Each structure stands twice: as structure tokens, then as C-alpha cells.
Structure 1
């Protein structure tokens, strides 16, 4: 989501002060829900944000990497038909790293589902987010819903990489997000809050994840940076 006009949504970056500022500035209509995760938000706000961790009917479209085989026990995402997701993730050749990156992609889609449905306590959010990260996003989802805004558009994830694995139980990883065609949308009117694309629609996301007893990798800490040079594309 570009920096001019409209309402940036989801990455819900940060603070309630930012949300209040955006909402007032949007005076005619909808509020901004701070920025970053689901709707590109490049106007205002800090370039770096962090979540402190423990340490319209129909189904949307999810396009995985062509090389990624169907996963056993893969989650189902209840996305509206006006949301599309493209995941560009290639196998690393390492089973642990592949599992970490697979679950990070699932977590990204779970967050989109939460904002799209206005429900932060979905099966998928509980599965892929540790309690601290889950509570953080629950607050953001509730705030956005209260303001009468949801999300729409196309979300693309690429540049997946595991940067560290410790004892097969915790890991650090990253990916890039492209939100140039992702927007906010007024729930009542259905009006799409379009903005002008910019470099800030490319977001570097970094994570700390931990393996659960059931074998899933949950996000326990998350941070992001807009317009990071390693993610920006023409």
C-alpha cells in the first residue's frame, strides 16, 4: 500500500498513538490501522517495528511455489475471494529449515485470515503464533475491526531464508513481503482505499520461532522494516 491517501492496514505497526494519528488524518473515512502486515502501509510511522515475544464470500486464492509439494496436515485458510496470496518459497534441502519456512508462510496466511475475518483466535492463529505474538495481533485485529476496516488485494511473500537453527528447537528466519497491490477496504461500503505504490510497500520480516510438541514452528518474536534494500524490487 503506497504512501498517498487511503488507509494502510495490517502490519499494524506499532502503537495506538500512530493509529490515532492516522484515523484523524483520514477524517473522511476510515482509519488507518497502522501499518504493515496485511496491507501495505508506507505512509507515516517508523521504519522499524518489533513485537516483543516470549523471549467477500467465497475463498481467496493461495498460490504456493511450484516446487513445493502438498504438505501433510496443511491448514485451510478461510480467505475472501478478493484476497490472493502468492508464496515464493523454494526447498533448501534441509528438512528442519524447510519446515520452519513452510510454517512461516502458513503464519503469514493465518494473519491475513485473522484480519479478513475479524477473528484473531482462529485455529490457524493459535497454531502458528506463540502466546505473546498471538496477543499482540489479537489487539491489532480488534482495533482494525472496531474502526470498520478490513483488507483486500494481493499479498506476495518471497526471499525466504533461515539464518540460524539451535538444537532443532528454535530458529531465526526472514522473508520479504510485497504489498504494492494490497489495500484497506471499508467494511460497510466495500470501498477500496487505494494508494500509490512505493518502495515502502516492500517489507523485510524477521522472526524467532520455536518448535511445539506437535511439531509446528510458532512465531515467538517478530520485527519488520519497510523499504529494506534486500526486499525492494522494481
Structure 2
């Protein structure tokens, strides 16, 4: 989905940046860093089902916000074979964070509780999520169709307190939809449909088993993600 760009480069800093770049799925010289795109296609999506493996990483008892998507929006996440429970939990919540951005767009609510739950308060990741949602609302667009999350990689950075998660997104079946008229803005598949995501996940201090996004970098027009 080729939405017009809405954000400059999203922030990635300190030690996490190096780790994220090491594991990134979509390499460096992308023309679009930071935001999803608005009209026509390609911003995030959402899957009808709520959260991935709620018991992964021993986090089954966490009171999570519910995300129910409309039938025309589907998020499909590739599975990753992980044995470390912290990595499993961090990946699940990185996916929940990505899912929450799309949920806010679908709900047309820049203050939705879901992305706030899965991101550190005041962090670049939380700022990024809110900006993506708000930009879609301001432009009058929601999304429809399917987004695929592929090429998942997970790496522990600092003594299991920070875990880097990277993946690619494929939006060639995801389209922008006018929120008021419900008109779907279909586009032809192109490199603009492919983005690489790098997310630094931090273990929540007060909730065992919960991981929250802290730093994020999203690069659009990713050649590597097309492969």
C-alpha cells in the first residue's frame, strides 16, 4: 500500500541502534525512513485476531487491551522459531505494538490505549505510533486489506533487558480507504509496498512478562524486503 509519507526518520539511538541495524531485515539506503504512507495503500494493518500466543514468555496473566479489527483488515505475522522465553515474549509484544498502531488507525483514535500499553511512556516508539495514527486521521484515511509481516529476527542486546526485533512488511494487498466515504484507493504493487522495521523492546518494570517498544526505525522502499 503506497501511502504518502507522513513522518521523517523515527528515532533509534544509543546501544540499541547498533543492535537493531545488525539484525535489520531491510537494509540501509531506503528513501523513506520513519513513517508509513497514507493515501492509496501501505500503512499498517491489523489482523482480526487479537494477540499472538498470550502465554508466551509466561505472560498469560497480563490484563491486555483488546484489539478487534473489522473483517476487511487482516494482519499476518510470520512465525519465528525461538526457544528463549524472553525473546518469545518480546517478539509477541513487538507484534502487538505494530498491531496497535493499525488498531488506532482503524478506530481513528490517536489516544487509543493499545499503543500506549505496548510502548514506553514518552518514548520515540510511543511518539511514532501516535503520529502515524494522527496523520491518518487528519488526512481522512483508514486502511483495508492485508499486511504481511515477514523475515522476523530477534536478538538480545543487554542482559535480557533489551531485545531487538526486526521484520519486513509487505503492503501490496493493503490499501487506503477514505474514512467517511469508504472509498478504497487501490494502487499497483511496487517497491513502496515494502518496509523494514527495527524495534527495541524493553522489559516492563512493573508487569512481569510484558515488553514495551522504546525505540523504532521504519524504512520504506526496502529492496531487501522485496526479496
Verify same fold: TM over 0.5. Answer: yes
Structure 1 residue 200, shift from structure 2 partner? 2.6
Matched, 1:91 2:78: no
Q: What is the CA–CA distance in structure 1 between the aligned matches of 2:225 and 2:131, rounded to whole Å?
A: 28
Partner of 1:62: 49
Partner of 1:100: 90
- 1:160-214: per-residue Cα shift (whole Å, max 9, x none)? 1113321211122201111111111111111001111112312110112211121
Do the aligned residues in 2 keep the contact of 1:114 with 1:120 (CA within 8 Å)?
Answer: yes
Matched, 1:166 2:158: yes
Do the aligned residues in 2 keep the contact of 1:148 with 1:186 (CA within 8 Å)?
Answer: yes
| DSSP 3-state at the match of 1:89 | coil
Unaligned runs of 5+ in 1: 3-7, 16-45, 52-58
Q: What is the CA–CA distance in structure 1 between the aligned matches of 2:150 and 2:47, rounded to whole Å?
A: 19
Relative to 1, partners in 2 of residues 1:163 and 1:70: Cα closer, same or farther, differing over 3 Å?
closer
- 1:3-62: per-residue Cα shift (whole Å, max 9, x none)? xxxxx16x74328xxxxxxxxxxxxxxxxxxxxxxxxxxxxxx624248xxxxxxx9623
Q: Equivalences for 1:1-234 in 2 at 5 Å?
A: 1-2=1-2, 8=3, 12-14=6-8, 47-50=31-34, 61-62=48-49, 69-71=53-55, 72=60, 73=62, 75-130=65-120, 131-132=122-123, 133-213=125-205, 214-215=207-208, 216-233=210-227
Relative to 1, partners in 2 of residues 1:177 and 1:60: Cα closer, same or farther, differing over 3 Å?
closer
RMSD across aligned positions (CA): 2.6
Q: What is the CA–CA distance in structure 1 between the aligned matches of 2:156 and 2:34, rounded to whole Å?
A: 19
Structure 1 residue 97, shift from structure 2 partner? 1.2
Relative to 1, partners in 2 of residues 1:94 and 1:12: Cα closer, same or farther, differing over 3 Å?
farther
Query: Structure 2 length as normaliser, TM-score?
Result: 0.72
Relative to 1, partners in 2 of residues 1:121 and 1:91: Cα closer, same or farther, differing over 3 Å?
farther
Q: What is the CA–CA distance in structure 1 between the aligned matches of 2:67 and 2:204, rounded to whole Å?
A: 21
Relative to 1, partners in 2 of residues 1:97 and 1:76: Cα closer, same or farther, differing over 3 Å?
same
For this pair of structures, how many residues does the alignment match? Answer: 187
| DSSP 3-state at the match of 2:226 | coil
Query: Structure 1 length as normaliser, TM-score?
Result: 0.70
